[in-house]
Every structure is written in C-alpha cells, then in structure tokens.
C-alpha cells in the first residue's frame, strides 16, 4: 500500500469516528502504525483542577498510565510549555528544552526511559481558558529520534484529528445508525445541512431552517445552500463538488472554517464528507455527499498559565522553572525535576522575581494561584 493510500485510509477512519466513537481505540493504533510510534495518547490536561485524562491510548501499559496521573503529571516538562505553541503545531522535547537537559529530568529518568522511549511528539488539538486537549506520540529505539518524515506525517494527521473531534463533539453521539440519521440530527444544537454535489439541500434540521430564515449567515437560493460571504461560498462549493467521486483521499479536504454573520457574530462551519467509510451509509439515505454543521464559535480565551506568562513576559523556560518551584517548594528539590543545576535555576528565579516584582517564592505561589483561579 502506497503512502498516499495509507494516509487516505487513515483519514477515512478518523472521520468515521464522528459517527461511531467506538472506532477511536482502533484508530489510535492506526496512527501509531502510520507515523510510526510505539504509543499514542489522546489526552486532556486541566490547569485549575490539576488533573489529566487519557481518552484513547495505544501502546501504554496501564501501570505507566496510572503512574503518570498519580505522580508525574506535574513534572512533565512539555507542560505548561505546550501552551506557548499554536493549536495543531507539532512539537518535540527539543522544541521545549535541549535533549541534554531533558534526559537529566526526573520525568525522563523515572517515566520515559523505563518504557524504552527515546523521543516523542505532541500537538494541541484544543485549548480553552482552563484546559487543553492534545495528542502525544512516543517513539522507541526501533523508530529512532523524531525526523522530518515522522514530523511531516504527524502534521498530516493532526488537523484531521482536530476536525473529527470537533464534529464528534457537535454530534455528541455514541453510535449513529443510518436509518436514524435524520431523527437524531434534528435535535442538534448546531445547524445541520446535508447537501448533494450541487449544494442542493437534501436535509436540514430545525436549527438550519431557522438560520436560513434569518439569512444572517446562509441563504436558500432556489433550494441550494449558499454562504453569504462569496469567498466562503466558493470554497465550500469546490470541496462538495469533488466529494461525489468517493475517493477517501478527498477526506483531506474536510474543513472547519470560520464564518461571520452580517451583524458580526462569529460562527464555525464543520464539513463532514459522506462519501466513504461508515459515513457513506448515512449519506446514501439522502443522496447527500456532505454534512455541514454550523454553530456559534466559542470564545478562544487564553489558558490561565499562558495569560500569566503574557502578563509578566515570562519565557517558556522561566515558566517551567516557576511551575516546578510552585509545585515542589524549593530550588534544591527542583534540580532533579528540571534537570539543570541549582545555579541555573537561581539565575532564572532572579529574572522571574524581577519581572513579577516579587521578592519571595511565597509571592510567586500567590501569583500562580490567582491566575489559576476560575474566578480570576
């Protein structure tokens, strides 16, 4: 199977999860095989509650997963450093700190190395004011360090994971049967349009009908769906017109696109092609080739730790030192966690004091607590 065929098959399976979430467990294994990697973890981490959750995993022994949640969640050097990276941007340990420092950290020595891992990649899939969701892929010695090919393959997959998770959250179903497609989707909070290759509306739920009536974001032009913004309308038409070919490779054109109404309200349109995989059953019911979900965009607020860093102009390394000191209490205790010398930590600490106007570590604890508070 060629690389293009492998990618097309993988993307098709990723988008199938939007209608059947039970497929995710197999899909994370497919991702590990494609990149390749020895483990894959789709996870979330919350700064306020100081918790993490693994939604779907492949290749991680339950023992190490439990250890991470109980002991190592707060000393992983990739967090909160990940907050400084854009959503969908692929990063490795070396994007956060030198590998020579990383291998000296307690996290590496006690959690990474015992699993036989030599490198990893991660990307944020969603970031809110209090938490983030992402994907991590670990590589063992047989895979070697992260090279350009592995990073490129990860970059190919990440945008589609994000879109599939977004659509799945809108649909919010455990499993969707084709014969119940309309009844189920009519109850969605998002507007849902099923269209044929000519953008003719073959099904619209109640929210969609109300949206057409308002003519604020979309319009019904002789039975065809039209985006009010000409450029957005043209781009969506182009994607839908190609969808009827039924080539799984076309799944790479599935999109999440921002829309703006005439009164300035922001929306997001998620498109799900219905021309391959399990989605084809649902599309065949209405002779539709695509489902378009339109919902109001949520506020893209900064994560509290990112807000803290921005407010005081702290670098990622300074944030890493700050969080380690807040969590373990002192410079000597932070040395094995950070993998750097006590003198280097003190140098960073003096800069943090200067930037925040603080004199004691107790003041820093109060600053972090204030930003992490959900009421701040």
**Tokens at residue 276, please?**
């391959």
Nearest-angstrom CA–CA distance, 254 and 291: 10
Query: Which domains are delineated in the chain?
Result: 3-171 (3.30.450.40), 188-296 (3.30.450.20), 304-372 (1.10.10.10)
Question: 11-36: b or e for each residue (b if 16 or more CB lie within 10 Å)?
Answer: bbbbbbbbbbbebbeebbebbbebbe
Tokens 């803290």 correspond to what residue? Answer: 308
Q: Is residue 326 a contact partner of residue 368, using CB atoms and an 8 Å limit?
A: yes
Cα–Cα dist 363/350, whole Å? 13
| Contact indicator for 72, 110 with CB cutoff of 8 Å | yes
Per-residue pLDDT of the chain (376 residues; tens, 9 = 90+): 577 778 878 887 887 787 777 889 999 999 999 999 999 999 887 755 566 788 899 999 999 999 988 888 878 888 777 777 888 899 999 998 888 889 999 999 999 999 999 999 999 988 765 567 899 999 999 999 999 999 999 998 998 888 788 776 655 443 344 444 445 455 556 788 888 888 999 888 878 888 898 888 899 989 999 988 888 888 888 878 776 555 444 444 455 677 878 777 888 787 777 766 555 555 455 567 888 888 776 555 566 777 788 889 998 888 888 888 887 778 988 888 888 889 999 999 999 999 999 988 888 888 887 776 543 3
Six token digits for residue 261: 């109404």
- Determine contact, residues 55/24, Cβ cutoff 8 Å: yes
Residue with tokens 């497919």: 30
Find out whether 40 and 25 touch, Cβ atoms under 8 Å: no
Taking the CA atoms of 43, 371, 86 and 349 in sequence, report the sign of the dihedral they define. Answer: negative
One-letter-per-residue 3-state SS of the chain = CCHHHHHHHHHHHHHHCCCEHHHHHHHHHHHHHHCCCCEEEEEEEECCCCEEEEEEEECCCHHHHHHHHHHHHHHCCCCCHHHHCCCCCCEEHHHCCCHHHHCCCHHHHHHHHHHCEEEEEEEEEEECCCEEEEEEEEEECCCCCCCHHHHHHHHHHHHHHHHHHHHHHHHCCCECCHHHHHHHHCCCCCEEEEECCCCEEEEECHHHHHHHHHCCCEEEECCEEEECCHHHHHHHHHHHHHHCCCCHHHHHHCCEEEEECCCCCEEEEEEEECCCCCHHHHHHHHCCCEEEEEEECCCCCCCHHHHHHHHHCCCHHHHHHHHHHHHHCCHHHHHHHHCCCHHHHHHHHHHHHHHHCCCCHHHHHHHHHHHHCCCC
Nearest to 40 by CA among 55, 52, 23, 50: 55
Q: What is the pLDDT of residue 129?
A: 58
CA distance 217 to 260: 7
End-to-end CA distance of the chain: 53
Task: Copy the structure tokens of residue 134.
Answer: 């992402």
Per the listing, tokens 């969603």 go with 126
Dihedral class, residue 222 (left if φ above 0, else alpha if ψ from -120 to 50, else beta): left
* pLDDT of res. 250: 43
């Amino acid at each position: 199977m060629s690389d293009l065929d492998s990618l097309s098959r993988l993307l098709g399976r990723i988008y199938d999860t939007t209608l059947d979430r039970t497929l995710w467990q197999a899909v994370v294994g497919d991702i590990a095989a494609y990149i390749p990697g020895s483990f894959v973890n789709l996870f979330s981490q919350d700064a306020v509650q100081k918790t993490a959750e693994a939604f779907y995993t492949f290749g991680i022994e339950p023992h190490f997963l439990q250890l991470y949640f109980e002991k190592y969640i707060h000393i992983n050097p990739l967090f909160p450093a990940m907050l400084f990276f854009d959503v969908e941007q692929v990063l490795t340990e070396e994007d956060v700190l030198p590998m020579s420092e990383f291998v000296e950290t307690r996290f590496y020595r006690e959690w990474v190395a015992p699993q036989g891992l030599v490198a990893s990649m991660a990307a944020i899939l969603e970031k809110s004011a209090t938490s983030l969701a992402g994907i991590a892929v670990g590589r063992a010695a047989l895979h070697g360090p992260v090279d350009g090919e592995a990073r490129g393959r990860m970059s190919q997959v990440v945008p589609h994971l994000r879109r599939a998770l977004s659509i799945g959250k809108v649909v919010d179903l455990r499993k969707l049967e084709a014969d119940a497609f309309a009844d189920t989707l009519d109850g969605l909070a998002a507007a849902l349009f099923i269209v044929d290759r000519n953008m003719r509306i073959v099904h619209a739920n109640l929210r969609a009908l109300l949206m057409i009536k308002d003519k604020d974001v979309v319009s019904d032009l002789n039975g065809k769906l039209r985006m009010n913004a000409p450029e957005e309308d043209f781009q969506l038409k182009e994607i839908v017109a190609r969808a009827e070919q039924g080539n799984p490779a076309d799944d790479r054109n599935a999109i999440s696109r921002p829309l703006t109404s005439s009164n300035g309200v922001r929306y997001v349109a998620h498109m799900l092609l219905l021309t391959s995989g399990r989605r084809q059953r649902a599309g065949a019911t209405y002779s539709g080739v695509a489902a378009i979900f339109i919902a109001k965009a949520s506020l893209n607020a900064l994560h509290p730790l990112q807000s803290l860093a921005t407010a005081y102009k702290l670098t990622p390394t300074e944030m890493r030192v700050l969080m380690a000191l807040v969590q373990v209490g002192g410079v000597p205790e932070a040395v094995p966690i950070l993998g750097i010398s006590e003198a280097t930590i003190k140098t960073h600490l003096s800069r943090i004091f200067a930037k925040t106007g603080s004199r004691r570590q107790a003041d820093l604890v109060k600053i972090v607590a204030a930003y992490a508070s959900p009421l701040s």
